Amino acid sequence: MLRHVRHLAEYFVFRIIVCAIDILSVRQSVRLAVSLATFVHHGLPRRITRYAVCRENIRRAFGDDVPEAEVDRLVHAMWVHLFRLLVEIVQLPRKLRRADHLDCVVMPQRDETVRLLASGRPVIVLSGHFGNWELANHCFGVFGWRMGVVARDMDNPLLHRWFARYRQRTGHRLIPKKGGAGDIVRIVERRGYVGMLGDQDAGSKGLFVEFFGHDASTFKSIALLAMQHRALICVGYARRLPDDLANQRWPQFELGNTDVIDPEEYDGPQAIRQITQRYTTAIERAVRLAPEQYFWLHRRWKSKPGQRQARRKAA
């Protein structure tokens, strides 16, 4: 009963915030994001904002010789990006319809992407926690490329239903990250499209490949799925472009890809590792385009090689 009341209260507050955000102009939303980011970055205790995690991740990615002022700037800019991302998610259905895409979205590899999706083979549309990944899903749906979108179920069922409706608004199908393997297989068997994020820590059971030059535990299931079903892997991104607040009615984005991987080019005992490394490197290339638009809060290098074996010996 108490949990249900808490969920209702969270959902009520969330809907009030959504209503307030939905009426903001792009200039107002940018000012709000900067103000909230400055408060979080400078006004809250750094243990709450996981500043140490962000700092460690940035230094691991770009080296210890990065000036402290630049690290601090990147962390603050990341918070600005995350607050802008929240505004864009709320406003996306109203602001970005099919007729508006030419004004808001640039697709440098448009023809290549269309040929890929029309190839008759299943496609795994893979990205990371970079830029506005929800906008990428929205664009694919609006133009008729319906996908099975893999996402983690939210703890609050009311919020989960809101986000499920949001993601399925343009024809996509939401697939739970936990327990959704059967649905994913059925989609690729029908030569459909699956959208997922591939930059989370996979724990001690993951495959360790290099991300920014350091071993990172990565899910090998993506490469296995691609090889078993001849699925192409398109590593894409939706990067927010510099603002022109005087003339634009909504932020502009570059919707592109950093690699297209054909699993049929790989064979032998190292194929899974090679494909996993290749898509991880492609995600890294996207992050390097605009490091401030990456989710540095996530402990990407949390798991260490040999951790699983060490636990077994200790047991």
6-42 tens-digit pLDDT: 989 988 998 999 999 988 888 899 999 999 999 999 9
What's the average model confidence in pLDDT over 115-121? 90
What's the average model confidence in pLDDT over 87-99? 82
Where does residue 50 fall: left (phi above 0), alpha (psi -120 to 50 degrees), or beta otherwise?
left
Percent of all residues in the chain with a pLDDT value above 90, rounded to a whole number: 63
- Please say if the pLDDT value at position 102 is more than 80: no
Give CA separation, 146 vs 163, 170, 191, 223, 266, in Å. 17, 8, 12, 22, 28
- Please say if the pLDDT value at position 221 is more than 90: yes
Model-level pTM?
0.92
Q: How far is CA 232 from the centre of its chain?
A: 19
Nearest in space to 102 (alpha carbons), one of 305, 223, 250, 234: 250
Name the band, by pLDDT with cuts 50, 70 and 90, for residue 265: very high
Q: Which two tokens stand for residue 50?
A: 């996981």
Report how far residue 19's alpha carbon sits from residue 56's, in angstroms, rounded to the nearest whole number.
36
